[in-house]
Amino acid sequence: SQTIHQWPATLVQPVGSPLSLECTVEGTSNPNLYWYRQAAGRGLQLLFYSVGIGQISSEVPQNLSASRPQDRQFILSSKKLLLSDSGFYLCAWSYRDRGGAGLGFFGSGTQLSVL
């Protein structure tokens, strides 16, 4: 069966510090990978998605970047965090090339507080 691991669960960082969140998927190959941010009352905001190693699409221009160094690894980074980067970050995967039928499976999330 497929599993998705996301860590850490909670993170408190000072403004201006760097960020690295990691996500890995097991039990499947060539997944599509996604980073979402969820803010209270604003729903799920798609930040980045990737259809392959080194292939990253950005949905929202901002202070964050993403990388996919391996097929089942997805990393969300920032060089200098802003207060507005606080939120609940979710990694997700879907089956590749199935379009909407690929569905979406989420990790457990990281609650990031920038102080």
Tokens standing for 72?
């089942």
Contact with another protein (CB under 8 A): which of 6, 24, 78, 86? 6
User: Does 1 help bind another protein (rule: CB under 8 A)?
Assistant: no
Among 49, 81, 93, 114, binds another protein (CB under 8 A): 49
Q: How far apart are CA 38 and CA 46, in angstroms?
A: 9
Question: Which residue type occupies 79?
Answer: K
Residues 6+ apart with CB under 8 A from 61: none
Cβ proximity to another protein, 32 vs 86, nearer residue: 32
Q: Cis bond leading into 8, ω under 30°? A: yes
Residue of 7, 62, 77, 106 that binds another protein (CB under 8 A): 106
Q: Which chain residues interact with another protein by CB under 8 A?
A: 6, 32, 34, 41-44, 46, 49, 51, 88, 90, 92, 94, 97-109, 111
